[in-house]
Amino acid sequence: MACGVLAASGIAAAAAATPASAGSTGSQSVTGATKNSAPAAQLAEIVVTATERREPEQSVPFEVTALTATALRRINAHNLGDFAPYVPGLITNSGADPGLIVIRGVTMGTGGQLSSAIGLYLDGVPLGASTSFGLGYQSFNINTFDLNRVEVLNGPQGTLYGADSLGGAIKYETAAPNLHRLHGIAETEVSQTDHGGTNYGLRGMLNLPFGGGLGAVRIDGIDDYESGYMTDPVYHRHNQGDTRNDGGRVQILLAPTRDLDVHLGVFYQRDSSVGLDTDFRNFVTHKPTLGTYDQAYPLEQPAVSSLTLYSAKIDWRLPWLTVTSITGDQSDHGFSLSDESLVYDAILAEFGAGDDPFQLPVDTDTHRITEEVRLVSQQEGPVRWILGGYYDHEITNEIVDLYDRANPGGTFLGLVPFAADLPSSYREVAGYADTTIAFTKRLSLGLGIRYSTQHQAYQESTYGLFATGSNTLYNSPIALTHQTVTTYSINPKYRLTHDIMLYARAASGFRPGGPNFVLVSGLHNPNFAPDKLWNYELGEKSSFFDHRAELNFDVYDIEWQHIQLVVNNGGVNQLENGKNARVQGAELSFKARVTRHFTLGGSASYTHAWLTGPVPVLKINYAGARLPLSPRVNFALLGTYHYKLAPGHPAALTVSDYWLGQRTEGFGTSASALYSLPAFNTFGLDLSIGLTRAVSADIYLKNAFNSAGQIDATTIANEYDPAAPTPVIISQPRTIGIVLRASF
């Protein structure tokens, strides 16, 4: 499911007082007790690495949300789309597929950006492409099985995490191999979705120690399938939008000495789908043109994306510092055959052309090598510091074609509409420093700086009606760009008491610019510049009633400059820098151990995001236009009640509810049609039962009242023809299922 905000703190609370997931390091199944757990009446402390140090979540002086393995289980979250609704400020339009990720409203919406504004990491390795040619906005959707936790960092992270973390960062931390314990997990899941079919999941983990505590290997495997819930009554297709997610992970941990850890990993995941989770809506009335959960696409729309990652992490602990090296070698592949008939028929209708089925194959491959070395001072002392260097080299090849499937060879007026081969490369070198100075036991100041330089090379080979006006191949000269960016952070915090912390934060972030796709007919902007922002924030984190309750609150003001805009010229996307935008908001989260058996958590957020001036390229001639996909108000609640069905059979009932406020897509001009997405509410239940000491069951109900929430809309066709139907992503209908989990 998609979108939303909050209550991850509440989820963590609901999970923290319960036994940890069998999928997390050093933990047991639902029937066991968490080792070294907090006293029964208190909330458990969650340790994060958001600042590249291990410290309690409540000590980090900015908004960070950690979802533990148990927390993810409580809401049956297998991917980003499942847990995003419960994280303050986090929005996504994806389910199991790669999709757009938004934190704190920093986006120009679907179709409005080609590179990501969110940093995405797996065990410290940055994922995806840094450039628009690698379609970086389609963030890969990591399966959450056997994770230790997910950390969501709100606000720009330009000093420690670098490029693309304009809105924030998401860190997936896997469960590490256990050096001393032979154990494993087997999971099977089956569910049924209204308007769809049967879904299933098979997952397993095996941990094998070797060498008398000197090493261990951990092996994971997954195979998840979700049936689509869209029907095409015109072209007689069912289960459109079905997805399959399969892959695995092998991790080796070597500990030859007490001061040296070597982590070696191989990760592979493949996502495939057929069709889209969209129905067709009337652009004006928003009513279904065929029926809720119905669509009409002339062409099949298969898609596949995969990620292969080889990684090595070395931690060497010296008496006064720790040396960390993180190496990543990844290959990202994406291929899709999308039906663009609505868009191109609307464009060509202006020239009197008929309705033809247009297909857009896009094939993208990115090979990325990264290396980061950090020197981290010892944890204690009045001055703590981090020094680091970072290297990134990416080679991307993007092939984009457009065919008219009504004619032999896919031609239109005797010519191929569009064909392009777009090879590019990206190289970044950066250095950074971060320090925290403790003036007293209560007052400290964090300072950070990062200097980075980016080099890009790009060439295009194109032909076709919309490219060269003929079938003559055009090979452009190699375009080169060189850019440098410096980012900063200033982060004081003050402890009123041991349990109440106040903080302020001023931090900047950026997204790389680069060369542009240029039509032979000419474009006045062959390059585009980085866009940058500053985030100003005030907040508090507090604990009450002997750590039985926590309350976090922050307000922020973001100034976003030189926004990178996608401009559609004759059906071809190009990038330009626009004017500025501003985002102001507030986030609140709480969690409380109300009784020994009942935990309650929740959050709420407010986001006001707008353009501060006219944007001529989008034909916006006034200030104040609202940014897409930025709900003004969201909230979520989650409660868990623990009890015993019988001696030796503990159980937990979790109730969740979230409300996603009204959003928009587009700006309401002839160059950017406006569609309003109404607010909706989703309610869910989960019952976890310990069947034996080694076997547990989760029975769950998602979207209990079958709300057909409108997640996102694609309005490009409506820019040319307001009467064209609008494809709208619809939330997953009511789904009921069961997960059986066995561990040894």
Q: What pLDDT score was predicted for residue 380?
A: 79
Give residues with Cβ within 8 angstroms of 432, minimum separation 6. 159, 160, 162, 386, 387, 388, 389, 390, 448, 449, 450, 451
Residue 350 reports pLDDT greater than 80: no
Over range 89-98, report the average pLDDT: 73
Average pLDDT rounded to a whole number, residues 137-152: 90
Q: What is the pLDDT of residues 544-562, one digit of tens each?
A: 999 999 999 999 999 999 9
**Diameter of the chain measured on Cα atoms:** 78
Per-residue pLDDT reduced to its tens digit, 206-228: 999 998 889 999 999 999 999 99
Q: Where residue 97 falls among pLDDT bands split at 50, 70, 90? A: low
Pick 603 or 486 by higher pLDDT: 486
Q: Which residues contact 484 (CB under 8 A, 6 or more apart)?
A: 451, 452, 453, 454
The model's confidence at residue 178, banded by pLDDT at 50, 70 and 90, is very high
Please give the mean pLDDT across all residues of the chain: 90
Higher pLDDT: 741 or 29? It is 741
CB contact at 8 A, 342 and 724:
yes
Q: What would the two tokens of residue 744 be?
A: 């040894």
Give 38's pLDDT tier (boundaries 50, 70, 90): very low
pLDDT band for position 57 (50/70/90)?
very high
pLDDT digits (tens, 9 = 90+) for 498-532: 999 999 999 999 999 988 887 765 555 788 899 99
CB–CB of 200/189 below 8 Å? yes
Residue 526: the pLDDT is 81
Terminus-to-terminus CA distance in the chain, angstroms? 32
Higher pLDDT pick, 116 / 265: 265
Q: 681: pLDDT confidence band, cut at 50, 70 and 90?
A: very high
More confident residue, 716 or 380: 716
- Euclidean distance between CA atoms 107 and 581, whole angstroms: 10
Q: For 235-264, what is the mean pLDDT?
A: 96
- Is the pLDDT at 258 greater than 80? The verdict is yes
Q: Can you tell me the mean pLDDT for 171-180?
A: 96
- Comparing 15 with 584, the larger pLDDT belongs to 584
Predicted local distance difference test score (pLDDT) of residue 212: 83
Q: What are the pLDDT digits (tens) for 287-296?
A: 999 999 999 9
The pLDDT of residue 211: 82
Please state, as a whole number, how many other Cβ atoms lie within 10 Å of the Cβ of residue 135: 23
Residue 520 has what pLDDT?
A: 65
Overall average pLDDT of the 345-372 stretch? 89
pLDDT at 165 over 70: yes
Let me know: does 536 contact 557? Beta carbons within 8 Å: yes
- Average the pLDDT over each of 33-47, 82-96, 362-376 and give the range with the smallest value: 33-47
Give 367 or 95, the one with higher predicted confidence.
367
Tell whether the model's pLDDT for residue 32 goes beyond 60.
no
Q: Are 311 and 328 a contacting pair, CB within 8 Å?
A: yes
Q: Which CATH number fits domain 8-317+324-348+358-743: 1.20.1260.10, 2.40.170.20, 2.120.10.10, 3.90.850.10?
A: 2.40.170.20
Q: What is the mean pLDDT of residues 119-135?
A: 90
Pairing of strands 383-404, 443-458: unpaired
What pLDDT, on the 0 to 100 scale, is given for residue 467?
84
* 450: pLDDT strictly greater than 50: yes
Distance CA 588, CA 539 (A): 10
The whole-number average pLDDT for the span 686-713 is 95
Closest CA relative to residue 541, chosen from 476, 494, 475, 481: 494
Residue percentage of the chain with pLDDT more than 90: 75
Q: What is the pTM of this model?
A: 0.92
| Whether the predicted pLDDT of 345 surpasses 80 | yes
